[in-house]
């Protein structure tokens, strides 16, 4: 069996390179792989394009990644929020680029990439600024915008439990983008609260099969949103 387990944080994030497109799970501060992000920060990587829903919360997690100068561009749906002050400072200083994508479109673009599709047609954003320049197709009298797949070089995800094959289950709304991001990257790295033995996860409840997971790292439970620097 392929060994997907990383024994150290350093080993877990070793595959990330300067300039990579990195899909980062989470919604607000929930389901964000904060430990993996800390590992990327410690490597001092540069010019990452980060795809994630929010523009960071407080000073930990995605906010830390931006604060330490690792991120050249952010692709997200909800950049402007009072808790995303680190992003705003960088944006106002012209030190980070921004692309806004509707939340469901971000999710589906990644799902499409993971599913091997060349894109999809969505009713979302028809006639709006966010559909500018995108082809519109009319199907049965209804207009749809053509959206293209969004693939990452890396996905950084957070899950609840993992088994040695990398099968994952999630915890409550910390699931959010993590399963679709795990599908959509060339190399998917997952931090998990707990590792269980082979056969200990009921196959009926596995959300993400291990085929989508390349590396996992066990963190144990931790309180989210704490600045650990």
Partner 1 sequence: MSDNTNLLTREQIAACAARDMEDGWLVNLGIGMPTLIPTYIPKGRDVLFHSENGLIGMGPPPTPEEYDQDLISAGKGAVTIVPGGAYVHHADSFAVARGGRLDCAVLGAFQVAENGDLCNWRLPTQKSGSVGGAMDIAAGSKRVFAMMTHTTREGEPKIVRERTYPLTALGVVKRIYTDMAVISVTADGLVLEQIAPGLTPDEVQAATGAPLDMSRVATIEIAA
List the one residue from 171, 195, 196, 219 that touches partner 1 (CB under 8 A).
Answer: 171
* C-beta closer to partner 1: residue 164 or 179: 179
* C-beta closer to partner 1: residue 123 or 199: 123
Q: Does 31 bind partner 1 (CB under 8 A)?
A: yes
List the one residue from 52, 167, 176, 188 that touches partner 1 (CB under 8 A).
Answer: 176
3-state secondary structure 87-115: HHHHHHCCCCEEEECCHHHHHHHHHHHHC
Q: Are 28 and 66 in contact (CB under 8 A)?
A: no
How far is it, in rounded angstroms, from Cα 80 to Cα 211?
A: 35
| Piece in contact with partner 1 (CB under 8 A), picked from 2-10, 41-49, 65-73, 120-128 | 120-128
User: What three-state secondary structure class fits 66?
Assistant: helix
List the one residue from 122, 167, 188, 215 that touches partner 1 (CB under 8 A).
Answer: 122
Min dist CB 73 to partner 1, Å, is 14
Q: Are 156 and 184 in contact (CB under 8 A)?
A: no
Q: 179-215: string of b/e by CB count within 10 Å (b at 16+)?
A: bbbbbbbebbbbbbbeeeeeeebeeeeeebebebbbb
Q: Does 15 bind partner 1 (CB under 8 A)?
A: no
Q: Does 103 bind partner 1 (CB under 8 A)?
A: yes
Q: Does 228 bind partner 1 (CB under 8 A)?
A: no
* C-beta closer to partner 1: residue 7 or 223: 223
Q: Does 121 bind partner 1 (CB under 8 A)?
A: no
DSSP character for 35?
Answer: H
């Amino acid at each position: 069996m392929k060994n997907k387990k990383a024994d150290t944080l350093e080993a877990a994030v070793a595959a990330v390179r300067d300039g990579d497109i990195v899909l980062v799970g989470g919604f607000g501060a929930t389901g964000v792989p904060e430990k993996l992000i800390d590992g990327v920060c410690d490597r001092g990587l540069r010019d990452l394009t980060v795809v994630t829903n929010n523009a960071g919360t407080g000073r930990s997690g995605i906010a830390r990644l931006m604060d330490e100068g690792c991120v050249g561009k952010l692709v997200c749906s909800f950049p402007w929020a009072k808790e995303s002050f680190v992003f705003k400072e960088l944006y106002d200083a012209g030190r980070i680029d921004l692309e806004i994508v509707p939340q469901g479109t971000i999710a589906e673009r990644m799902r499409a990439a993971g599913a091997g599709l060349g894109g999809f047609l969505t009713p979302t954003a028809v006639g709006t600024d966010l559909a500018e320049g995108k082809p519109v197709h009319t199907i049965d009298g209804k207009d749809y915008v053509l959206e293209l797949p969004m693939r990452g070089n890396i996905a950084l995800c957070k899950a609840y439990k993992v088994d040695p094959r990398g099968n994952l289950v999630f915890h409550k709304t910390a699931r959010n983008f993590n399963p679709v991001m795990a599908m959509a990257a060339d190399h998917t790295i997952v931090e998990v609260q707990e590792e269980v033995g082979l056969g200990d996860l009921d196959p009926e409840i596995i959300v993400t099969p291990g085929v989508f997971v390349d590396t996992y790292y066990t963190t144990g439970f931790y309180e989210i949103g704490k600045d650990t620097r």
